[in-house]
């Protein structure tokens, strides 16, 4: 499972002209599910994200987690995070999980992150054509792959 975590001063998701998620300060998390992912990947990532100290404290030092900084969270599914680009110019998505595997894992990711942070997690819609708007604060962007824990 791969996530791209962006610290934002605002972010939103729009589907068919309707805003489905909207936050101010917090995290926009893009999640790519791989066929080999399990609940172990979800638990490890959510624990890591909940404790990730990427918000500034009173001295401007990145010492606070999203909960300590009273930030909000949007999670958006994005299978293109598993694009293989080694050969040719057309990305291959062979490692990305099929919807019957990806949807339950994505939903479990959202539930687990909610439990870890105590936050209501806003989301996009799995498989929808989404317009994601954000103002990256910093910029701070972090990529984490659960297959690279060591």
Catalytic residues: 80
**How many contiguous H segments (helices) and E segments (strands) does the chain have?**
2, 8
Rounded CA separation 33/2 (Å): 7
- Say if CB 113 and CB 75 are below 8 A apart: yes
Closest CA to 5 of 32, 43, 38, 44: 32
DSSP annotation of 119: P
Six-digit token string for 76: 């958006």
């Amino acid at each position: 499972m791969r996530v791209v975590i962006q610290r934002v001063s605002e972010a939103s998701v729009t589907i068919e002209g309707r805003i489905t998620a909207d936050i101010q300060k917090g995290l926009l998390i893009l999640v790519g599910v791989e066929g080999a992912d399990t609940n172990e990947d979800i638990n490890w990532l959510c624990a890591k994200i909940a404790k990730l100290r990427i918000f500034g404290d009173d001295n401007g030092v990145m010492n606070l987690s999203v909960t300590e900084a009273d930030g909000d969270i949007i999670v958006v599914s994005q299978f293109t995070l598993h694009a293989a680009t080694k050969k040719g110019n057309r990305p291959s998505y062979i490692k990305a999980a099929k919807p019957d595997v990806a949807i339950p894992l994505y939903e479990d990711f959202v539930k687990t992150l909610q439990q870890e942070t105590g936050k209501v997690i806003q989301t996009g819609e799995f498989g929808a054509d989404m317009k994601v708007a954000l103002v990256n604060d910093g910029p701070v962007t972090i990529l984490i792959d659960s297959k690279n824990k060591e």
